[in-house]
Amino acid sequence: MAVLGIDISKSDFHACLIDENRIGRRSFPNSQTGFSQLSKWLTNRKVVTVFACMEATGFYWEALALYLFEAGHEVSVVNPSRTKAYANSEILRAKTDSIDAAMIARFAQAQRPPLWQPPAPESRVLQALVRHLEHLKTIHGQQVVRLETPGLPLQVTASIEAVIADLRREITEIERAIRDHIDRHPGLKVRHDLLTSIKGIGDTTASLILAELPALDRLRSTKAVAAYAGLSPRALQSGTSIRGRGSICRTGNSRLRKAFFYPALTAIRYNPQLKAFADRLTLAGKPRMVVVTAVMRKLLVLAYAVLKSGRQFDPSF
């Protein structure tokens, strides 16, 4: 099967096609028009299906990945750290969009990364709503900080206060839309209720987990779940001379990882099982943030367990 490497950005994407001994390169607009042009380009080169590989760069890849999937192509979406490591192994000395597309094509040809499956339509809508809510809250926080700036003219202060009021109304509306969307889809509602049965996970965190966690059949173990969220432990040791302080790898879904920080703090206080777990780590001399991170990982594993089993959290289990 022909391999298509794609380097994507906000406005356009560069494609490199490797088909037997032929190599083709071309750039397209990152839009529905560009997607149609890509299909015509492949047809003109007598390519029926491809193994397309691209990096998970922001939101820019999602529409193209879905288009290619629905057109019958095989699609793989990889963490940029994987392609960066591959580029380092080739000792590439130049970096352009065209060069990156060719490198991604060679990476896909050599590594054959796992295939990507799009979320269900209701999950895609939920993800869009949750991410929009996150964006609104970020802007709201920025405006609140600006309002605290000393010496602002009254006109500026009044304008910022109006913006904050509008943002609060919009945040309330989107939160309502998220609740209504979950209630309208029984599958989402059941999983939402499973997640909120865990002390420390509330409605907001449950919604974010449902939006960001991929289909459970893609995550076959708790280690895979932790790796997906970037909460896998990473040791730093080499021989007898290098024994650095361990950390988490962070090469995963940052939204999912961040979503567990405040729930972990709540769980340490109010969840008896996780409080006991945190106390054991503290008595063992672990630093505060190591303890919090361990509880974050434990919460993530519990969330995966209740979703996988279809049973609510049972503290006596």
Give residue-wise pLDDT tens across range 105-150.
999 999 999 999 888 899 999 999 999 999 999 999 999 999 999 9
Q: Identify any residues that bridge with 2 across adjacent strands, giving them in sequence order.
A: 50
The size of the chain, in residues, is 317
Residues 188 and 205 in one domain: yes
Burial tier of 4 (Cβ tally within 10 Å: 0-12, 13-18, 19+): buried
Q: How crowded is the C-beta side of 74, counted as CA atoms within 13 Å?
A: 14
Residues 103 and 126 in one domain: no
Helix ranges (H only) for the chain are 32-44, 62-70, 80-89, 97-111, 121-147, 154-184, 186-196, 203-212, 222-229, 254-259, 261-270, 272-283, 288-309
In a domain, 177, yes or no: yes
Among 83, 111, 139, the domain boundary falls at 111
Q: Is the pLDDT of residue 59 over 90?
A: no
Q: Give the pairing of strands 74-78 and 50-55.
A: parallel
Burial tier of 198 (Cβ tally within 10 Å: 0-12, 13-18, 19+): buried
Q: What radius of gyration, in Å, describes the C-alpha atoms of the chain? A: 23
Q: Identify any residues that bridge with 12 across adjacent strands, giving them in sequence order.
A: 29
Residues 69 and 132 in one domain: no
How many Å apart are CA 172 and CA 226, to the nearest integer? 31
Q: Is the pLDDT of residue 249 over 80?
A: no
With CA atoms as reference, report the closest residue to 256 among 226, 221, 223, 292: 226
In a domain, 314, yes or no: no
Per-residue pLDDT of 141-187, as tens digits, reads 999 999 999 999 999 999 999 999 999 999 999 999 999 999 999 99
Q: What angle do CA 88, 90, 94 make, to 5 degrees?
A: 75
Q: What is the DSSP letter of 295?
A: H
The CATH number for 60's domain is 3.30.420.40
What pLDDT is attached to residue 217?
63
- The amino acid occupying position 194 is L
Judge contact between 54 and 89, C-beta under 8 A. no
In a domain, 178, yes or no: yes
In a domain, 254, yes or no: yes
Residues 154 and 61 in one domain: no
What pLDDT is attached to residue 256?
84
Q: Which residues contact 252 (CB under 8 A, 6 or more apart)?
A: 79, 227, 228, 229, 230, 231, 232
Torsion of CA 20, 26, 27, 31, to 10 degrees: -60
Q: What angle do CA 12, 102, 87 make, to 5 degrees?
A: 110
User: Residue 277 sits in which domain range?
Assistant: 216-309
Residue 53 tokens read as: 């590989």
Task: Of 30-39, 86-95, 126-135, 162-171, give the lowest mean pLDDT range.
Answer: 86-95
With CA atoms as reference, report the closest residue to 26 among 11, 9, 4, 47: 4
In a domain, 316, yes or no: no
Rounded to two decimals, the pTM is 0.81
In a domain, 171, yes or no: yes
Judge contact between 170 and 136, C-beta under 8 A. yes
Among 111, 132, 167, the domain boundary falls at 111
Number of domains in the chain: 3
Residues 89 and 137 in one domain: no
Among 211, 229, 249, the domain boundary falls at 211
Q: What is the mean pLDDT of residues 258-267?
A: 88
